[in-house]
């Protein structure tokens, strides 16, 4: 790596162009790309709830959001954002650009959705946490898995150790959602 010395005034001008937690190099690269006519749009971000301030408020309460990252190669990745340090004074987009979306060009990210997930009610019949975990392991969104009808069979040792689960989906399930499950058997089951 080489160093470039700039005046204090030039550094301040570069600093004013920083977005989120940009490094000086990221600002310079963006300026060079612009000067060379390269227009690489940042990924489109969408939030649910749609109002960003309300989303941030809910994120502060729940400390968790579902993230769906869409890539330029046509694939997608469903993950979770554990936002334990978000506060009312936090810069929501700054946290995203310096965290989950850092290096978006090299990762091939074209857009991302951020969804506040429902919270467990505490009632015995509430399977919210199971749906969250299963959706994540199948690379589905919470909403997608909630639309599917399935049963779960568990393979447990005599000592009570869970070896694996077999998820059997109903024939009536949405075929477009089922296509998103990598490794789904033709008889609509998957071993996880």
- 3-class DSSP state for residue 157? coil
Whether the per-residue pLDDT at 38 is higher than 70: the answer is no
The confidence score (pLDDT) of residue 33 equals 73
The confidence score (pLDDT) of residue 78 equals 98
pLDDT band at 37 (very low <50, low <70, confident <90, very high): low
Q: How far is CA 20 from CA 33, 86, 157, in A?
A: 18, 14, 50
Section 72-81 average pLDDT: 93
Instruction: Provide the residue count of the chain.
Output: 192
The confidence score (pLDDT) of residue 18 equals 80
Residue 49, preceding peptide bond in cis (omega within 30° of 0): yes
pLDDT band at 188 (very low <50, low <70, confident <90, very high): very high
**Secondary structure letter of residue 43 according to DSSP:** P
End-to-end CA distance of the chain: 45
pLDDT band at 112 (very low <50, low <70, confident <90, very high): very high
Domain ranges of the chain: 1-40, 44-116, 128-191
Whether the per-residue pLDDT at 39 is higher than 70: the answer is no
């Amino acid at each position: 790596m080489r160093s470039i010395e700039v005046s204090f005034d030039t550094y301040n001008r570069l600093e004013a162009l920083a977005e989120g937690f940009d490094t000086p190099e990221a600002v310079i690269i963006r300026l060079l790309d612009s000067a060379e006519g390269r227009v690489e749009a940042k990924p489109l971000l969408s939030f649910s709830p749609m109002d960003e301030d309300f989303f941030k408020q809910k994120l502060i309460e729940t400390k968790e959001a579902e993230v769906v990252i869409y890539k330029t190669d046509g694939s997608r990745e469903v993950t979770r954002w554990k936002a334990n340090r978000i506060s009312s004074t936090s810069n929501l987009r700054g946290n995203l650009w310096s965290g989950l979306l850092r290096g978006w060009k090299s990762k091939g990210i074209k857009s991302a959705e951020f969804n506040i997930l429902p919270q467990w009610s505490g009632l015995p019949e509430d399977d919210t946490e199971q749906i969250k975990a299963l959706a994540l392991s199948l690379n589905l969104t919470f909403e997608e898995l909630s639309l599917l009808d399935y049963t779960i069979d568990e393979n447990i040792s005599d000592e009570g150790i869970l070896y694996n689960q077999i998820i059997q989906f109903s024939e009536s399930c949405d075929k477009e959602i089922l296509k998103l499950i990598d490794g789904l058997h033709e008889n609509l089951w998957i071993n996880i």
